[in-house]
Structure 1
Amino acid sequence: MKSSRGLDPKIEAVFRDLLGRIPFLQVKSFRAINEVYGNQPDALVEVEARGKPWVLVVECKRQGHPQHVRHGLLQLQRFLEPTRGRPCYGVLVAPFISKLSADLCAEAGVGYVDLAGNARLAFDQVFIETRVADNPFREKRETRSLFGPRATRVLRVLLQGPLHPWKVAELAESARVSVGWASAVRRELLAREWGVEEPGGLRVKKPHAILDAWVKADDWRKRTTTEEYSLLLPSDPVHLAEKLQDTLKGDRPAFTQWFAAWLRHPHATVPVVTAYVRKLPEETVITEAFLARQVSSGGRLRLVLPKDEGVFSPAQKARGFDLVSDVQIYLDLLPAGLRGDEQAAELRKWPDFAGGWA
């Protein structure tokens, strides 16, 4: 957002565009401040509103997560304190300002501007407010760091209720990742204020916000390899699942999607029995045991090889069957079709979803 030469020219352009929409407002100067130790704001914008001079005190942040915004607001408060009583107005700038971060700025009486088109300026007789839905500048690295294979191992553990604090070392051991990965997830959750630091460690504060963001980042096709089978003879889901367990013997499958959701919180019939396996069996093993043939779609038995074995943990049991976690069942149902999204919604509304998040 700021270089050795001053403020990002994109930010200046956005500012000038916004301020230029007000017919009675004139921009007198736009001055970036190169302060090595951060004891000064990043820029001062001098404007005139109906003949009255105002100074916009600008503080830039590389990220607009709530934690970073709170820090920026404290900095602006420090910069503005000596100007009390004078026509000065603080403005926080970031690549993207989320709705929560925008609310923090409004509560503090501070304006905000981002590169995505979100803005709120309210001083003198000036009022500008615009809002866009999504973040077009979402960093791929940022998304990978929180919803990549290793990080989601940590999220599955944290989202298993009842929600409680976790020390980093204990979290890493339970999720089967390095302490470094557990620490990275902790930092991301705290930055977004989706988690809170307590004496006992990190506790998830906003599980629904985490899951909603995970849904947007998730890609079933990229994280799985699937084999589907059409069955010659009819069979109820329970019998089919029992036979699959017997057929695979030592490699016990972990069921997901409709069958797993039906066992956890019945809502609709089970059109397909889906199970994660650690190794896809030879095709003849399934075709001979079930009088089946492999198909590209429309089958009643689906075997799924995950790219990362984190999907198997935490596990749960129901009526003698191994299941993946409720969070994983939910994620797997959403893109599945055959009204899987309806079953997913019912499962998530259930008070005991993922052990309860109350």
Structure 2
Amino acid sequence: MAVTEPPTEPSLLEQALETLRRVLGTDWSVVIGNTREIGTGSGEDLDALIRIIPPGARDKSAELLVAVREKVTPRYAESHLVPLSSSLTEAKTPFTVFLAAPWISRRTQDLLREHGIGYLDLTGNAFLSSADPAIRILTQGDRRAPKTARPTSKNVTLAGPRAGRVVRFLVDFTPPYRPTDIAETADVSLPWVSRLLTQLEEQLLVRREGRDIVHVDWPELLRARAASYDLLRHNPYVGALAPRGISAVLDQIRKRHLMDEDQPRVAVTGHYAARVISPLASGGQLMLYTEAGPHPPHQLAEELGLFEIDEGGEVLLLRRHDEVVFERCRVVDGVPHVAYSQLVLDGLGGPGRMPSEAEAVLGYMSENEDSWREPNKPARLPRF
């Protein structure tokens, strides 16, 4: 059986040129040149000069300086392409920096557009803006990396409980702190934390000075984590009816919390928790985290006077995927609610209107960061 070689940079360039020609149409000419013609002193980041010539106007063209990369991160774009684009602008040259890659993440796309840098990937994400000749291209391709562009098994990702605990730490506590603080509090090995932080730094989700984490882009970090998290799939649930109404269920939870805090933990997430922070609509299911295992949801249903049903239900009893869901719970009117960060993760990974509710909670968090984010490394987190 023949072995297929992975795409090389020249083949990527050829595919990018063909895609660009299809987008522009057959009347436009796309001509490839050589970067030696431009003399920018940044040849290590550039692979080609492309001229885009409009129909019937051979005396003008859009000049693209193309960087072709098998893999690109926001950090690469920020440290290499943005300075190059800025220097070309300051020198008042006619050139536009343009990136071609198999796939470009949404975060990288946003950064490139912000600085007027064009891009095109082989899934259909593309951007190019030129005043003379007038060109405006903005198309959407895949939001997630194709299988051939995903990280190898040797790389860590934001999927799984370990990543969830690290993300919760990074969001809930204000830097500076060190990887050892994260590893100790999140109960994750230091080498694994260090590898994850390296990945997050490449995505510009964290910034470090020496060994210290000094900045966390926590809204984007929550969105990135939520991309690999499904609330109802990762937290298997039991559906139930509340014959005496949701208010009666909350009253029961309030009483059990006040009477004995050492009972099996319960915490509200989803619609009812989001509504307290930023009400968008009424109704929705009451979602309650319980302990993991086969029995806790059934025991809690019996304790709260719920009737279990096979599908749906106005109450969902979620078997927690990890103990992190109970960390830094808030008590709202006597009822334990998940922390703001967990609520956003659950909402972004939830069904129906939950992602919109989560974005509203994110807005509140951004405007009131001092009220919920701890300034220092925490002691062991409390139980509820």
TM-score between the two structures when normalised by the length of structure 1:
0.72
Greater shift in the superposed pair: 209-218 or 39-48: 39-48
The 1-side partners of 2:354 and 2:65 are apart by 51
How much is the aligned-residue C-alpha RMSD, in angstroms? 4.5
Deviation at 1:130, TM superposition (A): 1.3
Deviations 1:98-119 (A, max 9, x none): 1222223x2xxx5433332413
1:120 and 2:128 correspond: yes
Query: Paired residue for 1:58?
Result: 66
Query: Paired residue for 1:98?
Result: 109
Residue 146 of structure 1 aligns to a residue whose secondary structure is: coil
Deviations 1:54-77 (A, max 9, x none): 975422233443311134427957
Distance 1:352 1:270, change over 3 A: farther
Distance 1:21 1:179, change over 3 A: farther
Is the 1:117–1:130 Cα contact (8 Å) retained in structure 2?
Answer: no
The 1-side partners of 2:231 and 2:73 are apart by 27
Deviation at 1:305, TM superposition (A): 1.0
The 1-side partners of 2:287 and 2:99 are apart by 51
Deviation at 1:160, TM superposition (A): 1.2
Is the 2:109–2:119 Cα contact (8 Å) retained in structure 1?
Answer: no
Residue 126 of structure 1 aligns to a residue whose secondary structure is: coil
State the aligned residue count.
Answer: 343
The 1-side partners of 2:8 and 2:164 are apart by 34
Is the 1:61–1:68 Cα contact (8 Å) retained in structure 2?
Answer: no
The 2-side partners of 1:239 and 1:100 are apart by 48
Deviation at 1:178, TM superposition (A): 2.2
The 2-side partners of 1:98 and 1:148 are apart by 26
The 1-side partners of 2:146 and 2:346 are apart by 24
1:125-274 equivalences under 5 Å are 125-133=132-140, 135-136=142-143, 138-139=145-146, 141=150, 145-161=157-173, 163-198=174-209, 201-234=212-245, 236-242=248-254, 250-261=263-274, 272=286, 274=288
Distance 1:72 1:295, change over 3 A: same
1:330 and 2:344 correspond: yes
1:278 and 2:283 correspond: no
Deviation at 1:225, TM superposition (A): 0.6
Distance 1:22 1:91, change over 3 A: farther
TM-score between the two structures when normalised by the length of structure 2:
0.68
The 2-side partners of 1:261 and 1:328 are apart by 11
Distance 1:242 1:22, change over 3 A: same
Counterpart AA for 1:73: L
Distance 1:73 1:273, change over 3 A: closer
Residue 98 of structure 1 aligns to a residue whose secondary structure is: helix
Counterpart AA for 2:70: R
The 2-side partners of 1:121 and 1:290 are apart by 60
Is the 2:85–2:96 Cα contact (8 Å) retained in structure 1?
Answer: no
Query: Paired residue for 1:296?
Result: 310
Is the 1:7–1:32 Cα contact (8 Å) retained in structure 2?
Answer: no
Deviations 1:140-197 (A, max 9, x none): 6459812443222211111115x32231121122222222332333233322323322
Is the 2:268–2:338 Cα contact (8 Å) retained in structure 1?
Answer: yes
Counterpart AA for 1:355: W
Distance 1:144 1:226, change over 3 A: farther
Deviation at 1:257, TM superposition (A): 2.7
Counterpart AA for 1:159: V
Greater shift in the superposed pair: 163-172 or 257-266: 257-266
The 1-side partners of 2:222 and 2:244 are apart by 38
Match for residue 355 of structure 1 among 372, 375, 379: 372
**Gapped runs of 5+ residues in structure 1?**
none
The 2-side partners of 1:79 and 1:59 are apart by 16
Residue 76 of structure 2 aligns to a residue whose secondary structure is: helix
Is the 1:118–1:129 Cα contact (8 Å) retained in structure 2?
Answer: no
Counterpart AA for 1:61: R
Distance 1:349 1:236, change over 3 A: farther
Is the 1:255–1:323 Cα contact (8 Å) retained in structure 2?
Answer: yes
Is the 1:158–1:203 Cα contact (8 Å) retained in structure 2?
Answer: no
% same residue: 22
Deviation at 1:227, TM superposition (A): 0.9
Deviations 1:295-316 (A, max 9, x none): 1345454321133333233444
Distance 1:344 1:88, change over 3 A: closer
Residue 50 of structure 1 aligns to a residue whose secondary structure is: coil
Residue 307 of structure 1 aligns to a residue whose secondary structure is: coil
Greater shift in the superposed pair: 215-224 or 342-351: 342-351
Deviations 1:262-314 (A, max 9, x none): 67678867862512323342676456544443113454543211333332334
Query: Paired residue for 1:309?
Result: 323
Residue 295 of structure 2 aligns to a residue whose secondary structure is: coil
